Structure 1
Amino acid sequence: MQTILIIDDDRDMCLLLKRFLTRHGYEVLEAYNGKKALEILDETEPALVMCDFRLEDMEGNVLLGKIKEKYPALPVIIITGYSDIKIAVEVMKMGAYDYITKPLFPDEILVTIKKALETPFAGESKQVVPPVKENATPPPAVKQVPSKIIHSGEYIFGDSSVFRALLQQIDLVAPTNYTVIIYGESGSGKEAIAQEIHKRSKRKGKPFVAIDCGSLSKELAGSELFGHEKGSFTGALNQKIGSFEIANGGTIFLDEVANLSYDIQVSLLRVVQERKMRRVGGTKDIDLDVRIIVASNEKLWESTRKGKFREDLYHRFNEFTIDVLPLRQRPEDVMLFANHFLEQTNQELGKNVKRFSDEVEQIFKTYVWYGNLRELKNVIKRATLLTDGEQVEATSLPFEISHHNKLQFESQPETTVRPATPPTIVREEVVETPRGISETTLKGASIDAEYEMILKALKKVNFNKSKAAKLLNIDRKTLYNKMKQYQEFNNQ
C-alpha cells in the first residue's frame, strides 16, 4: 500500500482527503504545518506528498525546497487557490510535480496522483540526501526544456530564455482544460502558440479550428460560430454547421476576440458556462466538449473598462494567460526566425540562398519590427526572390528596412537648435541636405521636400507605413513609389 503525506493547516480538508484516499487504497499521513511535516519526513519516506501552498508557519516554496533536499525524486503536488496560479508556476520550476487548484475535484485528484506515482523513481529514493553546503551548486530543476529548436508549422521555439519560459507555460497548461488568453501584437505568433497548446493536450487527435473574430461581420458572426438552420434568415438556404460544432471534442481558437459584438458575447457566455449551444434559428441544445483559447492584442480587462467587452465573459476566459513579447523586445531571437524563414522560402522557390551578409544581420538586429514575425517573413521572402547568389545583401531589402537608421533620424547630424515660438517644444532642425540631393536643381529640391515630409509622417505614426500613407493623404503604393524615387535619385 502506497503512503501519501497530506500537509494542510485546514484540518477539515485533511480529514476529507484522508477518507477519500483511504477508500481508494492509499495509506495517508497528516501534518497540519510545515514543521510537523518535516518531522514525519525525517522518520519515513512517503510515495507522494500533497502540500497546501499557504501554511501558517511557512510558505509552500520553502517547504518544497526542504523536501527536495531530503528526497529529490519524491513527487510533490501543490494545492493552491485560483488566485495563486502564477505562484504555482514558480514552484513547478522549483521541482513540484504538478499542482491542483481549489475547489478540489475527486477525479482530478485521483488522475494527478496516479500519474505522479507512475513517474520513474516515484517513492523509490530510499537514500536521504545530506544538507546542501553553503557554497554548493544548487541542483538542476526537475523539468528541463530541451535545448533545441522545435518546429511548429510556421512557428519555431528556440532555446533562449524567452522561449524556455514560453514552453514551460505551454507544457503547464496544455494537459488541462483551462481556457487560455494569449496576449500579443498582430503577427507575433499567437495562433501558432494556440496550436502548440492543442498538440500537447489530450485533444491533439481532435479538430483545431481557428477563427479571426476581427473579420466576422456583426450579421454573420453568429452563423459562423454557432451555425444556422435552414430558413432561419434571408439567404439561409441550407443548414450550416458552425465552428464550435466542428471543433467539438477539440480546440477552438478565437483570435481578436474583443472584436465580437455584444450580442455574440452574450451567446458565447452561455457556451462557456453551460457547454451548450444552439444554432441560429434552432430550438435544440447541442452539447459541447470544446476547449476555448482566445487571443487579443489589447488587454481584455482594459476592454471591459471601456465597455467593449463583457466583464463576466472576461472572468470566464481568464483561467490562464500567456503574454507573447513583440519581436522588437527580443532582438536575440531575430536571426533564429530569419534563418527559419530563409529555409522555408528556399524550399518554396527552389533556391539555395545559404546565409545573410553581416550588414543584413546587423540591420535585422537593429530594425524595429513593428509587424513582428509576419513583417520579418515577408521581408525575407522578398529578399530571397531578389537574391541571385548564395548570400542575401542589403540591396535586396526594402528601402524602409535598409535605410531604417535614416528614417529614425539616427544618422543625420545635429547642427543647429532653433527655439520655436512658445508654447511649442524646442524643435531640432537639420541643416545638412541628405547625401545625393542637389540643392541647385528644382527636381532635387522637390524630392528633398517630399522626403522630409515622409520622414515626419513615418515618425509621427511609429513608422507604420499604412498610417503614414493615410496621414499624407496618399495610398500605400504611392508612398512606396516616393521612397523608391528618393532611393534611385540618391544612388545617381
Structure 2
Amino acid sequence: MQTILIIDDEPSIRESLEGILEDEGYRTLLAETGESGLALAREECPDLVLLDVWLPGMDGLETLSRLRESNPEQLVIMMSGHGTIETAVKATKLGALDFIEKPLSLEKVLLSIDNALKLGRLVEENRSLKASMAKDCEMLGNSPAICHLKEQIAIAAPTSGWVLITGENGTGKELVARAIHNLSKRGDKPFVEVNCAAIPEELIESELFGHEKGAFTGATAQRKGKFDLAHQGTLFLDEIGDMSLKTQAKILRILQERKFERVGGSRTIEVDVRVIAATNKDLEEEIRQGRFRQDLYYRLNVLPFHVPPLRHRRGDIMLLAEHFLAHFCRQESRDSKRFSPEAAEALRAYAWPGNVRELKNVVERLVIMVAHETILAEDLPEGIQGSGAGMKTGLPLPAFDDMTFKQARDEFEREFIQQKLEEFDGNVSRTAEAIDLERSNLHRKIKSYGIELKK
C-alpha cells in the first residue's frame, strides 16, 4: 500500500483528503506544520507528499526545499488557496511536480496523485534498468592484463580527453567505451553509438550530422544526427577505420571546431561531446597505406587503450564462461548448469580467435542445446573438444603470437601453476613444495592470475 503524507494546517482539508485517499486504497499520514511534516517524512519515507504553501512557522516552500534536501527524489504536490504564478514557478523550481489550487477538486487531486506516482515508478524502473545495464556492461576478469586495463580506465575516465580503443573483434571494446562513459562526469548524459562500418557511404553524413527536410529524396522531415543527440554526453565511433577519407575529413573538421551544419542546412550547430573511437585495424599501417588520415589519428589518439585478446588472459576464461552460463540459464529459464573439469580444461586451452564474443556465443549454444545438468567435454564444439589435450601431454602451449615477452612469461607461468595444481588435486602446500616456491608466494600468484582452486 502506497503512503501519502498530507501537510496542511486546516483540519477540514486534512480530514477530507484522508477520507478520500483511504477510500482509494492509500495509507495516509497527517501533519499540520512543516516541522512535524519533515519529522514524519524522515520516519516514514512516504511515496508522495501533499503540501500546503501557507503554513504557520516554516512555510510550504521552505518545507519543500528541506524535503528535497533530505530526499532529492521525494515526490511532492503543492496546494494553495492563494496561489500565484510566481509561487507556482518557485515551487516547480524547487522540485514540486504539480500545483493544485484550493478549493480542491477531487478529480484534480486524484489525477495529479496518479500522474505523480506513475512518474515515480518510471524513475525507479529507469534506475533499475540502468543498474541492470551497468551490470551487463561490467568488465569481468582478474588477469594482470584486464586489471591493468581497469586501472587505466579509472584514471582516464573522469577527464575530458578523447579516447582511441584498439583490439581484435570480439574483445569488448564497446564495454571499455561504456565503462569510460559511466565513470566520467558525463555519465548521466547520453551515450550514443555509431557503427561506422554498418552505415552506407552515401548515408553516413546524414547519420552523423542530421538533415533538413527536403535535403535529399526521402528526407520528409528534419532529423537530428548522432553528434546532436550526444550533446553533453559521449559519442562512440565504432570501427572508425572503415570510414572513407571524405567522411574522415568532415569528422576531423567537426572535432576541431565543435560545430557543423545538417545536410541541406545552413545553420551552424555547436556541440559539446566527448569522442571515443574504436577499431580492430592497425591505424598506423592504414596511414602508411593512405587509407586513414594521419591528422585524424593524432586528434583521436589522446588516450590510447588496447583491449587484450582472450588468449592473453586465459585466467579469465572460466570466470567469463561461468558468468555467461548463469546469465543464459536465467534468460532461457533453464535449470542451473555447470562445466565438468574436462570441459573447463578444454575451454581454458582453446585459443578463442573470436575472443569473448565467441565464448559468449558458445556458452549460449550449450545452455540451449545441452539437456543435462553437467556440460561435458564431448558437448563442446569439435574445434574446442581437443584443445585441452596439450595441457595433459606437455605439448607446447598455443597462441603465444602477438604477445610481449612479459605477457608470454605471465601466460606460461599461469598455465604451469594451473597444471601443477591439477596434478596435486588443488593442494597448495604440496604444489608449492613440488615447484620449490614459498606457499605465500604461490597464493599471491594464484590470486593475481585468477586461478580457481578445487573445492
**TM-score interval, normalised by the smaller of the two chains:** 0.5 to 0.7
Q: Is 1:355 the counterpart of 2:316 in the alignment?
A: no
Whether contact under 8 Å (1:250, 1:290) holds in the other structure is yes
In structure 2, the partner of 1:374 is 357
Q: Distance in 1 between matches of 2:180 and 2:137?
A: 15
Partner deviation per Cα, 1:256-276 (whole Å, 9 max, x = no partner): 101111121111011110111
Q: Distance in 1 between matches of 2:394 and 2:312?
A: 22
Aligned equivalent of 1:399, options 375, 379, 382:
382
In structure 1, the partner of 2:228 is 245
Q: Give the counterpart letter for 2:157 in structure 1.
A: A
Q: Distance in 2 between matches of 1:208 and 1:267?
A: 21
Aligned equivalent of 1:281, options 264, 268, 289:
264
Q: Alpha carbons of 1:411 and 1:401: their partners in 2 closer, same or farther (altered >3 Å)?
A: farther
Give the 3-state SS of the residue equivalent to 2:249 in structure 1: helix
Q: Give the counterpart letter for 2:229 in structure 1.
A: I
Partner deviation per Cα, 1:155-200 (whole Å, 9 max, x = no partner): 4333332222111110111111111000011110000110000000
Give the 3-state SS of the residue equivalent to 2:272 in structure 1: coil
In structure 1, the partner of 2:237 is 254
Aligned equivalent of 1:337, options 320, 336, 343:
320
In structure 2, the partner of 1:226 is 209
Q: Distance in 2 between matches of 1:366 and 1:393?
A: 15
Structure 1 gaps of 5+ residues are 1-149, 413-492
Q: Alpha carbons of 1:253 and 1:360: their partners in 2 closer, same or farther (altered >3 Å)?
A: same
In structure 2, the partner of 1:321 is 304
Q: Distance in 2 between matches of 1:399 and 1:242?
A: 45
Q: Distance in 2 between matches of 1:395 and 1:351?
A: 20
Partner deviation per Cα, 1:446-478 (whole Å, 9 max, x = no partner): xxxxxxxxxxxxxxxxxxxxxxxxxxxxxxxxx
Q: Give the counterpart letter for 1:390 in structure 2.
A: E
Q: Alpha carbons of 1:151 and 1:334: their partners in 2 closer, same or farther (altered >3 Å)?
A: farther
Q: Distance in 2 between matches of 1:404 and 1:221?
A: 43
Aligned equivalent of 1:184, options 149, 161, 167:
167
Displacement of 1:298: 1.6
Structure 2 gaps of 5+ residues are 1-132, 396-455
- Residues 58-69 of structure 1 aligned to structure 2 (within 5 Å): none
Displacement of 1:330: 1.4
Q: Distance in 1 between matches of 2:287 and 2:361?
A: 34
Partner deviation per Cα, 1:69-117 (whole Å, 9 max, x = no partner): xxxxxxxxxxxxxxxxxxxxxxxxxxxxxxxxxxxxxxxxxxxxxxxxx
Displacement of 1:288: 0.6
Q: Which has the higher helix share?
A: 2
Partner deviation per Cα, 1:314-355 (whole Å, 9 max, x = no partner): 111110100111001211110111011111101111112332
In structure 2, the partner of 1:213 is 196
Q: Is 1:307 the counterpart of 2:307 in the alignment?
A: no
Whether contact under 8 Å (2:143, 2:313) holds in the other structure is no
Aligned equivalent of 1:174, options 157, 179, 200:
157
The share of aligned pairs that are identical, in percent, is: 44
Q: Alpha carbons of 1:405 and 1:361: their partners in 2 closer, same or farther (altered >3 Å)?
A: closer
Whether contact under 8 Å (2:345, 2:388) holds in the other structure is no
Q: Distance in 1 between matches of 2:379 and 2:394?
A: 21
In structure 2, the partner of 1:92 is none
Displacement of 1:389: 2.9
In structure 1, the partner of 2:274 is 291
Whether contact under 8 Å (1:256, 1:295) holds in the other structure is yes
Q: Alpha carbons of 1:411 and 1:231: their partners in 2 closer, same or farther (altered >3 Å)?
A: farther
Q: Distance in 1 between matches of 2:208 and 2:135?
A: 26
Give the 3-state SS of the residue equivalent to 1:215 in structure 2: coil
Aligned equivalent of 2:177, options 183, 194, 197:
194
Whether contact under 8 Å (1:206, 1:250) holds in the other structure is yes
Alpha carbon RMSD of aligned pairs, Å? 2.2
Give the 3-state SS of the residue equivalent to 2:304 in structure 1: strand
Q: Distance in 1 between matches of 2:157 and 2:209?
A: 25
Displacement of 1:411: 12
Q: Give the counterpart letter for 2:160 in structure 1.
A: N
- Residues 119-138 of structure 1 aligned to structure 2 (within 5 Å): none
In structure 2, the partner of 1:160 is 143
Give the 3-state SS of the residue equivalent to 1:280 in structure 2: coil
Give the 3-state SS of the residue equivalent to 2:192 in structure 1: strand
Whether contact under 8 Å (2:181, 2:234) holds in the other structure is yes
Displacement of 1:386: 2.1
Aligned residues: 261
Quick check: 345-354 or 356-365, which moved more?
345-354
Q: Distance in 1 between matches of 2:233 and 2:265?
A: 23
Structure 2 length-normalised TM: 0.55
Q: Is 1:264 the counterpart of 2:261 in the alignment?
A: no
Q: Distance in 1 between matches of 2:310 and 2:263?
A: 41
Give the 3-state SS of the residue equivalent to 2:194 in structure 1: strand
Quick check: 222-231 or 381-390, which moved more?
381-390
Q: Alpha carbons of 1:232 and 1:151: their partners in 2 closer, same or farther (altered >3 Å)?
A: closer
Q: Give the counterpart letter for 1:260 in structure 2.
A: M
In structure 2, the partner of 1:386 is 369
Give the 3-state SS of the residue equivalent to 1:218 in structure 2: coil
Q: Give the counterpart letter for 2:320 in structure 1.
A: F
Q: Give the counterpart letter for 1:284 in structure 2.
A: R
In structure 1, the partner of 2:329 is 346
Whether contact under 8 Å (2:192, 2:230) holds in the other structure is yes
Whether contact under 8 Å (1:363, 1:402) holds in the other structure is yes
Q: Alpha carbons of 1:279 and 1:182: their partners in 2 closer, same or farther (altered >3 Å)?
A: same
Q: Distance in 2 between matches of 1:155 and 1:399?
A: 30
Q: Distance in 2 between matches of 1:360 and 1:277?
A: 54
Q: Give the counterpart letter for 2:382 in structure 1.
A: F
Give the 3-state SS of the residue equivalent to 2:267 in structure 1: coil
Displacement of 1:392: 1.2
Q: Distance in 2 between matches of 1:392 and 1:405?
A: 15
In structure 1, the partner of 2:108 is none
Q: Distance in 1 between matches of 2:217 and 2:134?
A: 45
